[in-house]
Structure 1
Amino acid sequence: MIPQLVTVRRRRPDGRWRRLYVPVLPVALVLSPLLLLAVVGGVVACLATQVSPVGALRGAGQLLWALPGTRFEIDQGRTAVLVSIR
């Protein structure tokens, strides 16, 4: 299943957390013209380096499919960021 929601939490200097919810589908629809250009550029790069474009797209799809449930946290000094993909 592709990710539906990305949650970003950032700790403010006063210690409170600020949460930002980013829905994946509307953002992907808004950025779809750029996504199309990125796919075309990726296919051209694959052909230039003699890599199978179908294999590269399949690998990117498998990576996207594995993202739900991923969490990563960055904590350095007073700055903390937590990103959770659902």
Structure 2
Amino acid sequence: MMPQLLTARVKRPAGRPIRIWVPVLPVLLILSPVLVLATAVAVVACLVYRIRVWRALGAGWRIVSALPGSQFDIEHGRTAVLVTIR
């Protein structure tokens, strides 16, 4: 299943935390020309390095499909960022 929502929360040292909700599907639709170009570049790179194209694209799709439920926590000093993918 493709991720549906990306939630980011930034805790700042002074002030209230910032929360951002990003729906993934509209962003993918807007960036689809870039996605097509990136896929073409990936196919060319697979051919140059003699990697099977379908296996490489399948592995990429499996990575994207495994993202829902992931959480990334980054802390640096008094600032913290939490990213959740649903």
TM range (shorter): over 0.9
Displaced runs of 4 or more, over 6 A: none
- 1:26 — aligned with what? 26
SS in structure 2 at match of 1:54: helix
Q: Aligned-pair distance for 1:17?
A: 1.1
**TM-score, normalization by structure 2:** 0.96
- The one-character-per-residue Cα deviations of 1:23-82 (angstroms, maximum 9, x if unpaired) are 000000000000000000000000000000100000001001100000010011111100
Any stretches of 5+ residues in structure 2 without a counterpart?
none
**TM-score, normalization by structure 1:** 0.96
Q: Distance in 2 between matches of 1:20 and 1:65?
A: 22
Percent of aligned positions with the same letter in both sequences? 53
RMSD of aligned Cα (Å): 0.8
Residues 1-86 of structure 1: matches in 2 within 5 Å? Answer: 1-86=1-86
SS in structure 1 at match of 2:29: helix
- The alignment of Structure 1 onto Structure 2 pairs a total of residues equal to 86
